[in-house]
Structure 1
Amino acid sequence: MDRLLALLLHQGVLDEQFLELRQLQDELSPNFVSEVVSIYLRESDKHLRSLRTLLSDAETTDYKKIGVHLNQFMGSSSSIGAKRVRNVCLVFRTASEQSNRAGCLRSLEVLEYEYCYLENKLHELFHMEQQKVLASAVRYPLLG
């Protein structure tokens, strides 16, 4: 688990903000990080769907609405330490500010890829953490 987290930090997928978020978790709120990340993932899925919909019609693309979704996505990504997703949002926002449809479509592709990678790695991390908690709760009878 520590190696995976170190790798994600090294790759720039996550940053120090994720470590700070983990420090807020304690015995009184043992699921704090997974709950925050679950909310982030749910909201991010909505933002991605909205961005896809907004870019689906070349004639009526509303770049202001795209910017609103990107700002929200960027803010929530920053708050959990999703560094690469946040950085792609920045590039995407620049393209939307320039009404650059091709740039927006490319950015959406990259954003979906980065988000999917992040989501998979976070699920993997939480699964490992869950296994660790379960293993520590197992009591072995004394042999002999």
Structure 2
Amino acid sequence: MDAAAVQQMIQQLLAHSVQEGLLDDQFLQLIQLQDESNPDFVAEVVELYFEDSASKLDTLQARLAEPAPSYSQIDALVHQFKGSSASFGAHTMAGLCVQLRDACHAHNQAACQQLVGQLRESFGVLKARLEQFMQLERQRKQLGGS
């Protein structure tokens, strides 16, 4: 397989991810920021998003398991999560955060817990897709594609 074929696979993967609503144009714009002076920019941003999101999901789950959760603290964390997801281009994740904030404002613990489960599931799908993207990116670089 040559670099052009791998590049085409990358484009198809991204187009499919945008079509599904998993990612949006914001992620595509992040990709445009990568150049020869910073060839690992996207990989670094993806890795940071993975680490940050996993940590936030664990914290949310723990806070919502408390008998009397602090909805203001949870809401502040979800607000940060929504912002990082939107900036990253994780469309589905940002949308779920909006719903979670609404459930926080309603002090609906069951709905919050359900939405954190949905966030975790969506994060798993997004992570798998982006790992596939990163693998194709490494392959493209090895083949000498720009």
Would you say same fold, with TM above 0.5?
yes
2:23 pairs with 1:11: no
2:114 pairs with 1:106: yes
Structure 1 runs (4+) deviating above 3 angstroms are: none
Helix, strand or coil at the partner of 2:56? helix
Give the C-alpha shift of residue 136 in structure 1.
2.4
Give the C-alpha shift of residue 121 in structure 1.
0.5
Per-residue CA deviations over 1:77-105 (Å, capped at 9, x if unaligned) read 01110000000000011001110011101
Give the C-alpha shift of residue 34 in structure 1.
1.0
Q: CA RMSD in A?
A: 1.0
Helix, strand or coil at the partner of 1:14? coil
2:32 pairs with 1:23: yes
> 1:55 maps to what in 2?
64
Of 118, 121, 126, the residue aligned with 2:126 is 118
Structure 1 portions without partners, runs of 5+: 138-144
> 2:139 maps to what in 1?
131
Give the C-alpha shift of residue 75 in structure 1.
0.6
TM-score (normalised: structure 2): 0.90
- Equivalent positions of 1:67-106 (< 5 A) are 67-106=75-114
Give the C-alpha shift of residue 37 in structure 1.
1.3
2:43 pairs with 1:45: no
TM-score (normalised: structure 1): 0.91
Report how many residues are paired. Answer: 136
Aligned partners of 2:27, 2:90: CA distance in 1, in Å?
8
> 2:3 maps to what in 1?
none
Structure 2 portions without partners, runs of 5+: 1-9
